[in-house]
Amino acid sequence: MKKNVKLVLLLSVSLFLSSCSREETETNSVTNTSERGKILIQTPSGATLEKVGDDYIWLGDILLSPSQVKEVSSKGYFSGLLLKGDKKNPATYVDPNTHLPIAIQGQKASTKAGDPKAAVGIYPRGNNQWGLVRYVLAPNLTQDRHRIINEAMAHWQAHTNVRFYNMTGQSTRRPDGSSHDYIEFVNANVNNSYVGRIGGRQVLNLAQNQDAATAIHEIGHAVGLFHEQSAPNRDDFMNINWGNLRREVWHNFDKVSPATLFEAVDYSSIMMYSSYISDPAFVYNPNIPVMTRKDGSTWGSTRVLSMSDRVLANHLYLPYIPRSDSYRELDDIVYKPDNTIMSSTERLALQAKLNNGNPIPPLGGRVHVN
């Protein structure tokens, strides 16, 4: 039996190295172990990746592109993590969709109750942020998945500037032959997603019998959010009960560094796991919390976007209406970065700024949305 185990591990190492060579994602793997059909890969950076089929997964449910595998393996993170300034020196970026500056204000982190919360996300660049989130629905999606996807997108659109455009049944090719960037919602036995826009087709997997909160969470990854428990300063605010976690899943609770907004961890974020995990593949005792606040208190599952989830999305997105021309038309409701709604005067002024001073969109340019 031991010889067979060694043979499996040797084959796993061989397969991993050969696949990396084909995709130019060599990681110089240190150790490989099998875990419930997965290959766990300990990389030189210290990050642990799961290889399942052709997919590389990080932090439990984050899919990685070949270039991201290489970066995470060598650095422990991938390009595009959003850094935050402070009150005197905000981190200022240029929105790739609007070409307008974005000032991400920061505050000193503190563990006191009621302190500002921050979401963990990615730097907005032209190659990782969506204007409209184009998507298609896989033909074999079950009815329950259709329902939760629609509920999740409706929730994002009701509370943020993120907008979705259904391309199902349409060509995913542009007139010049290049591919649109889009999400394909897929039936799977797992829930996972890429973080941000990676280019071309990217899948968002949803398992059977999930609820809308799961879809909201995975869409959160796709629009650019990481897990709250992965924040680099999370140990200032919470404790991880490693003794109740099975050793093979410890990597799901790794910190991402450097990562973003150095403020208090948001326990109510849709991107934060519950204190309690019931899956026996993760924990020894489901009645003992995996995560607690510093004072020992716990929190439950979140089913909706928190204020900080919305703040990050509303910093980085504007609610564009799909058009066949180049005019940038905004939806009637536009959220400010503080989650308040712009007045019609403010909205028209912004629309004019986006369109060389013209606040009035040309007639006939809107595209019908399914």
As annotated, the active-site residues are: 218
Contact criterion met (CB below 8 Å) for 63 and 190: no
Pairing of strands 201-207, 182-188: parallel
Helix spans in the chain (H): 2-23, 66-75, 143-159, 212-223, 307-316, 344-354
Rounded CA separation 237/239 (Å): 7
Buried b (16+ CB within 10 A) or exposed e, 133-142: bbbbbbeebe
Contact criterion met (CB below 8 Å) for 314 and 335: yes
Flag whether 99 is marked binding.
no
Query: By three-state DSSP, how is residue 56 classified?
Result: strand
What is the DSSP track for 175-237?
A: TTSPBPPEEEEEEESS-EE-SS--SSEEEEEEETT--HHHHHHHHHHHHTB--GGG-TTGGGT
Query: By three-state DSSP, how is residue 249 classified?
Result: helix
Contact criterion met (CB below 8 Å) for 106 and 262: yes
Flag whether 217 is marked binding.
yes
Contact criterion met (CB below 8 Å) for 68 and 78: yes
Phi-psi region for residue 336, left (φ > 0), alpha (ψ -120 to 50) or beta? beta
Least Cα distance to 267 among 158, 152, 119 occurs for 119
Binding residues: 217, 221, 227
Binding residues for Zn(2+): 217, 221, 227
